[in-house]
Amino acid sequence: MVYNTVMLHKNLRTVFRKYISGELKLERWQKIGIFMLLIVFAGFFGWVYEFIFYYFNGGMKKFYMQGGNFLPWINIYAIGTILIILTTRKFRKYPWMVFLISVITTGLLEFVAGWLVFKIGNGTRYWDYNTEILNFGNIEGLVCLRSVLFFGVSALFLTYVVIPITIWLSKKMTRRTFLTFTIILFTLVMVDEIYNILASKFFDWPDAIDFYESLKLEYWVK
């Protein structure tokens, strides 16, 4: 047991060191599987964060549903994760750079996405910092300092904890097991996303928000 624990830590340290230095070599199937796993994790992480935050924001009296999917997954966090990975991959040796770049990148993503939804949707808001606690640095309800600082800290967690662990998993599992696991999770999320964004609108079917509201569950912003 002790030997296995020591080897686990040693393997993780090796993966982490090579990942940070840029020496790590991955096969294509590993990159694909890791990408899909990170997409699933990011959306789930964002859902958990918002589920907890809006409980406190609402005075700790009840829980609010968030996102527009049946599964606990929010797409903008997955998009933000992709942007963070792309914009910080050359700066992994410098956590402060990863943090700063992530704050700027996610802040721009949040503002632009919120502005587009507001304009295209004739005043629709998926979030509104005007109505929330800790909304210092609030700009038109679309972005605030608290949110981007949280995204910056989350980027550090993603870069220095989550990604190395997913790489390690891809090395510990067989190719078939790892890809089967990640493809199933990714497919479930994407089917859910496509249904709610496209199919439900095109065929006028009930979407996730309709379903959860039928169960008397509330959304903080709709």
Residue 10 forms part of a structural domain: no
Instruction: Assess whether pLDDT exceeds 90 at residue 13.
Output: no
In total, how many domains does the chain have? 1
The C-alpha atoms of residue 63 and residue 150 are separated, in whole angstroms, by: 21
Residue 221 forms part of a structural domain: no
pLDDT digits 0-9 by tens, 173-213: 999 999 999 999 999 999 999 999 999 999 999 999 999 99
pLDDT digits 0-9 by tens, 33-59: 999 999 999 999 999 999 999 999 999
Residues contacting residue 3 through CB under 8 Å, at least 6 positions apart: none
Contact 105, 97 (CB under 8 A): no
Q: For 166, list phi and psi in degrees, rounded to 5.
A: -65, -35
Closest to 53 (Cα-Cα) out of 41, 63, 42? 63
CB-facing half-sphere around the CA of 114: CA atoms within 13 A: 20
Segments forming the whole domain that contains residue 203: 28-214
pLDDT digits 0-9 by tens, 125-148: 889 999 899 999 899 999 999 999
> Burial letters for 4-34: b for 16+ Cβ neighbours within 10 Å, e otherwise?
eeeeeeeeeeebbeebbeeebeeeeebebbb
CA 129 to mean position of chain CA atoms = 19
The C-alpha atoms of residue 210 and residue 217 are separated, in whole angstroms, by: 10
Residue 17 forms part of a structural domain: no
Residue 100 forms part of a structural domain: yes
**Tokens for 71?**
């599964």
Contact 128, 111 (CB under 8 A): no
Residues contacting residue 159 through CB under 8 Å, at least 6 positions apart: 84, 88, 92, 95, 98
Residue 3 forms part of a structural domain: no
What is the enclosing helix (H) or strand (E) of 50? helix 28-57
pLDDT band at 3 (very low <50, low <70, confident <90, very high): very low
Residue 124 forms part of a structural domain: yes
Contact 175, 66 (CB under 8 A): no
pLDDT digits 0-9 by tens, 90-126: 999 999 999 999 999 999 999 999 999 999 888 888 8
The C-alpha atoms of residue 38 and residue 80 are separated, in whole angstroms, by: 11
Residue 140 forms part of a structural domain: yes
Residue 56 forms part of a structural domain: yes
